[in-house]
Amino acid sequence: MQIDELRREITDRLPTLSDEQVEALWEYMQILTAADVDALENSNKYLTFFCCDQVFGMDIRQVVQIIGIPPITPLPESSAHLRGVASVRDDMIPVVDLRVRLGRDPVADSGKSCMVVTNVQDRSIGILVDAISNVETILPEEICPPPRQEGHNADYVTGIVKRNTVILLVDVDALLTAGDIDLLNMPASSLV
């Protein structure tokens, strides 16, 4: 059924509804409208942050919290960029160093550096970054596809936004290697 047909059908039936039914319908429409507005408002929001003198952005809906760099316990036999695990909210979460993932030196605790706690595959993960920049509204039409380069594995870059500075949009899930995902799928208690 097309939206116009549905609208006509609802309009035609309104006079036959009781006051209670009209009130219930009105309340339901307000709930739907509020949910749609909230979803729309957050769908174009990105947390921007610095790493390796570059600005990156991630979908704000994936961000759980931003904290200082906590003590990190190294994991044996893990990727270099998987620095270890940290205790956050009484849960042990894996910590990825974005600088190392980009082929650079590890993030240093500079006072501005921090950990962005995100949701990846139904599990929290911490991402170490140099500094937080802002929360930006980025419309879909502003996002350019990233160039594909032979020999470079940058699948985690999903788009490029050109403003005063270039913002690389990242897919947090793609920052992880297959080995990282295997580690994430292990029970949290066996990670330490």
Task: Confirm whether 15 is domain-assigned.
Answer: no
Task: Confirm whether 20 is domain-assigned.
Answer: no
Task: Confirm whether 122 is domain-assigned.
Answer: yes
Q: What is the CATH number of the domain that holds 121?
A: 2.40.50.180
Residue 98's domain spans which residues?
Answer: 45-191
Predicted TM-score (pTM) of the model is: 0.72
Task: Confirm whether 40 is domain-assigned.
Answer: no
Per-residue pLDDT at 190:
57
Task: Confirm whether 100 is domain-assigned.
Answer: yes
Which pLDDT tens digit goes with each residue over 67-79?
A: 999 999 998 878 8
DSSP 162-179: ESSSEEEEE-GGGGS-HH
Across the strands, what pairs with 46? 59, 136
Rounded to whole angstroms, the Cα distance separating 128 from 99 reads: 8
Tens place of pLDDT for every residue, the chain, 192 residues? 466 676 677 667 667 767 776 677 677 777 766 655 555 555 789 999 999 999 999 999 999 999 999 999 998 878 888 899 999 988 889 999 999 988 899 998 888 899 999 987 778 899 999 999 999 999 999 999 988 766 556 678 899 999 999 999 998 888 777 777 676 666 555 555
- Burial label for 146, CB within 10 Å (0-12, 13-18, 19+), is middle
Task: Confirm whether 39 is domain-assigned.
Answer: no
| Percent of the chain surpassing pLDDT 70 | 76
Task: Confirm whether 84 is domain-assigned.
Answer: yes
If one counts every other C-beta atom within 10 angstroms of the C-beta of residue 85, the result is: 23
Q: How many independent structural domains does the chain possess?
A: 1
Task: Confirm whether 31 is domain-assigned.
Answer: no
Which pLDDT tens digit goes with each residue over 91-103?
A: 889 999 999 988 8
